[in-house]
Amino acid sequence: EDKVVQSPLSLVVHEGDTVTLNCSYEVTNFRSLLWYKQEKKAPTFLFMLTSSGIEKKSGRLSSILDKKELFSILNITATQTGDSAVYLCAVGSNTGNQFYFGTGTSLTVIP
Amino acid sequence: DGGITQSPKYLFRKEGQNVTLSCEQNLNHDAMYWYRQDPGQGLRLIYYSQIVNDFQKGDIAEGYSVSREKKESFPLTVTSAQKNPTAFYLCASSIGRGAHQPQHFGDGTRLSIL
C-alpha cells in the first residue's frame, strides 16, 4: 500500500528558531515529491523534488530528497509568525499519475 | 487573474440529498483533481481527470461522481450514497498529465450535514 508519513504531527517554536520537517514515503513507481504550505484554505506550492541530493532553496526555506532512504526534509530557518501553517508532503507516482499526501505537520511560531 | 475557483465556500446537505460542488479553472490546465481533507488524515484523492470526457477513480470514489465536459470545469457531485460527507473538499489542477507537475488548488468547499 502506498503511503506518505510526515513527522512531527505538530510543532510549536519561537520566532527565530530553525525547524526541520520530515516526510518519508513508500510509493510505487516514484516520480516526484512536493511540499505545500496550507494556511487556511488552499495549499500553496513550495518545492518539487525529483533527484536525490539536490537542495531546493527559496529564501529561508530549503528542501532535499533522499531517494535511497525514501525521505525528504523541509528546513525553515529564522522562523517568523507568518510561517505558521500546515505543511503538506505529496509524492507523485507514475502509476496512475496521481499524488499521495501525508497528514501534514502543523507548525505554530510564537512571537 | 488566473486561478481555480471553487463554489460555494460552505454547503449544507440534508439526508438523502445530492449536492454538487463547482470547480472552474482558467489556467488552461489539462489535469484536474478532487480531494477530500479530514482532520488528521491529510488529502485523499476522490477522482481525477487528465483530459476532457475522461476521468478516473481515486482511492475514495464511492458515493461521488464527476464529469469533465469542458476543459475548464470539473464538478463533483456528492450523492446520498456517501454516508459521511462532512469534510473539506479541495479541487486542484496541473498543467500536465503526469505526476511531475505541481498542483494548483482552489480555496475549498466545506460541506456539512444538516
Note the pLDDT tens digit of each residue in B39-85: 878 899 999 999 999 999 998 999 999 999 999 999 999 998 888 89
- Beta-bridge partner residues of B104: B93
Least confident of A50-59, A89-98, B19-28, B94-103: B94-103
Residues from chain B that touch A42, judged by Cβ atoms under 8 A, are 4, 90, 105-108
Main-chain phi, psi angles of B15, to 5 degrees? -55, 135
**Cβ-defined contact of A98 to B99 (cutoff 8 Å):** yes
Note the pLDDT tens digit of each residue in B14-34: 888 899 999 999 999 999 999
Mean pLDDT within A17-32: 95
Residues from chain A that touch B108, judged by Cβ atoms under 8 A, are 41-42
- DSSP of A6-75: EE-SEEEEETT--EEEEEEEE-TTEEEEEEEEESSSS-EEEEEE-STT--EEETTEEEEEETTTTEEEEE
Name the band, by pLDDT with cuts 50, 70 and 90, for residue B1: low
Is residue B39 less than 8 Å (CB to CB) from chain A?
no
What local confidence, expressed as pLDDT, does residue A1 receive? Answer: 83
Of residues B30 and A95, more confidence is placed in B30
In the block, cell 454516508 appears at B83
Return the percentage of chain A with pLDDT > 70, whole number: 100
Cα atoms in the Cβ-side hemisphere of radius 13 Å centred on A79: 22
Q: What is the mean pLDDT of chain A?
A: 94
CA distances from residue A12 to A20, A105, B60, B76 in whole angstroms, order as listed: 12, 11, 32, 36
What local confidence, expressed as pLDDT, does residue B81 receive? Answer: 86
Name the band, by pLDDT with cuts 50, 70 and 90, for residue A86: very high
